[in-house]
């Protein structure tokens, strides 16, 4: 089994086919989209391929170590994760082909007008842990 990260983007990826921003969707369209995501995750839980998912709030701050004292905080000038990443799902699948298949399915979540969003999802393999796992 290999773990993959499916990233949903606010922007920065190629435009989706049904490219209507979510803040312009009706409440019913948002509910249908969220339900599709829940149903997708539930199905993957049944097959053992689901690891976790999370939506991310648009607020965020970049922080770095800058010597002793308080670390600097910035709201730019580079693109920030809060502007790019809307959420993620981690899956644990048998092959890259299966990960691609599931990403394609997730991309079909309904959007404005009930039509599939057909958004681009970023599919990234997770690296194996560098340290050995200790079991009792």
What tens-digit pLDDT sequence spans the chain (136 residues)? Answer: 799 988 887 666 677 888 888 889 999 999 999 999 999 999 999 999 999 998 877 666 666 666 677 776 665 555 555 556 778 899 999 999 999 999 999 989 999 999 998 888 888 898 876 655 556 5
Within a domain: residue 113? yes
What is the pTM for the complete model shown? 0.73
Q: Report the alpha-carbon distance of residue 119 to residue 116 in Å, rounded.
A: 8
Within a domain: residue 28? yes
Domain that holds residue 111: 2-57+85-125
**What spatial distance separates the first Cα and last Cα of the chain, rounded to whole Å?**
22
Total domains present in the chain: 1
Within a domain: residue 62? no
């Amino acid at each position: 089994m290999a773990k993959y990260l499916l990233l949903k983007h606010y922007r920065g990826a190629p435009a989706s086919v049904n490219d209507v921003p979510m803040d312009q969707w009706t409440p019913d369209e948002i509910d249908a989209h969220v339900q599709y995501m829940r149903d997708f995750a539930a199905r993957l839980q049944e097959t053992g391929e689901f690891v976790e998912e999370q939506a991310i709030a648009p607020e965020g701050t970049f922080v770095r170590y800058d010597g002793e004292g308080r670390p600097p905080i910035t709201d730019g000038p580079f693109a920030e994760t809060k502007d790019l990443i809307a959420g993620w799902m981690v899956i644990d699948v048998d092959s890259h082909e299966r990960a691609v298949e599931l990403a394609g399915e997730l991309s079909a979540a309904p959007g404005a007008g009930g039509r599939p969003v057909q958004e681009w999802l970023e599919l990234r393999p997770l690296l194996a842990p560098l340290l050995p796992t200790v079991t009792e």
